[in-house]
């Protein structure tokens, strides 16, 4: 079956998954995105706002073409599409492809958040946390936005919640949110690994700790390499192999075992 004959919901779903994977450096996903551009453009021209917003995301994140992204997001936002509103808000907030306009960005994030867009909820919450918002929102309302976004699979929101709970000394809660962020591929993998290593907010668990350090390598983050080598010095071969298995990279186990013996 050709890409053009695939139902629209399959094209859109496939494009979203491919875009997410391409952002993680998946070359196969990049090729798939190229295949889906034509069908997405056809859907967008036929009035599909989800396809239009996706084209904006591809232009911005994959092509690094902020001007094209601005065109797509504006067309979708003008017709009330939440992802288009959020995308246009991002461009206005950062000044990519257009002049900065934080007040308009805030209005667009608010509209998209009220429509249920979880990434817009995160963006709006961050504006308030960074004191760049013009409207007033209580800390409780900001926390609700972050929690809703995190529960709807925005790992960055979970990472911010982990930081907040850690700052107020609620380390058990901090670990919960850091682990959720790490499961979504966000940076706090190292914070999660350190907490299991040092028994912060949990019992010491070297297998889980090493698992999270190794998971960082899967997303191209080498910050956990040093911690991994230090940790394995006190681990058994079986523990190292189990951590590598949980990290979906069993081939790393023997390299770590051998490095410990040198």
Q: Which residue, 25, 149, 136, 143, is CA-closest to 86?
A: 149
- Is 220's pLDDT higher than 70? no
- Is 232's pLDDT higher than 80? yes
Higher local confidence (pLDDT), 187 or 145: 145
Q: Which residue, 170, 187, 169, is CA-closest to 178?
A: 187
Burial of 12 from C-beta contacts in 10 A (0-12 / 13-18 / 19+): buried
191 neighbors 218 (Cβ within 8 angstroms)? no
Q: Which residue, 216, 191, 207, is CA-closest to 246?
A: 207
> Checking phi first, is residue 211 left (phi over 0); if not, alpha (psi -120 to 50) or beta?
alpha
**pTM of the shown model:** 0.83
Q: Which residue, 225, 195, 230, 198, is CA-closest to 213?
A: 225
78-94-29 Cα angle (round to 5): 80
CA distance 256 to 237: 9
Range 188-192 contact pairs with CB under 8 angstroms and sequence separation of 24 or more: 188/158, 188/159, 188/162, 189/213, 189/215, 189/216, 189/219, 189/221, 189/224, 190/216, 190/221, 190/223, 190/224, 190/227, 191/162, 191/166
- Is 7's pLDDT higher than 60? no
pLDDT digits (tens, 9 = 90+) for 42-94: 999 999 999 999 999 999 988 889 999 999 999 999 999 999 999 999 999 99
Residue bearing tokens 């949990």: 202
Residues whose CB falls within 8 Å of the CB of residue 89, separated by 6 or more in sequence, listed in order: 104, 105, 106, 107, 108, 109, 112, 120, 123
213 neighbors 205 (Cβ within 8 angstroms)? no
- Is 248's pLDDT higher than 90? no
């Amino acid at each position: 079956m050709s890409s053009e004959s695939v139902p629209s919901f399959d094209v859109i779903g496939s494009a979203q998954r491919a875009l997410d994977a391409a952002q993680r450096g998946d070359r196969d996903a990049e090729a798939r995105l190229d295949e889906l551009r034509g069908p997405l453009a056809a859907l967008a021209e036929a009035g599909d706002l989800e396809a239009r917003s996706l084209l904006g995301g591809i232009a911005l994140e994959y092509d690094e073409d902020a001007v094209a992204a601005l065109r797509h997001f504006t067309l979708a936002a003008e017709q009330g599409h939440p992802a288009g509103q959020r995308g246009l808000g991002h461009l206005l907030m950062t000044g990519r492809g257009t002049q900065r306009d934080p007040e308009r960005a805030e209005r667009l994030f608010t509209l998209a958040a009220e429509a249920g867009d979880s990434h817009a909820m995160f963006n709006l919450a961050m504006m308030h946390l960074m004191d760049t918002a013009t409207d007033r929102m209580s800390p409780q309302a900001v926390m609700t936005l972050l929690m809703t976004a995190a529960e709807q699979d925005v790992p960055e929101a979970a990472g911010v919640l982990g930081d907040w709970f850690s700052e107020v000394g609620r380390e058990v809660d901090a670990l919960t949110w850091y682990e959720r962020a790490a499961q979504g591929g966000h940076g706090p993998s190292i914070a999660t690994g350190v907490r299991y290593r040092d028994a912060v907010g949990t019992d010491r668990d070297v297998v889980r700790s090493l698992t999270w350090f190794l998971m960082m390598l899967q997303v191209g983050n080498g910050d956990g390499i040093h911690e991994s080598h230090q940790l394995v010095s006190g681990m058994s071969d079986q523990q190292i192999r189990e951590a590598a298995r949980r990290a979906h990279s069993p081939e790393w186990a023997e390299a770590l075992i051998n490095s410990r013996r040198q």
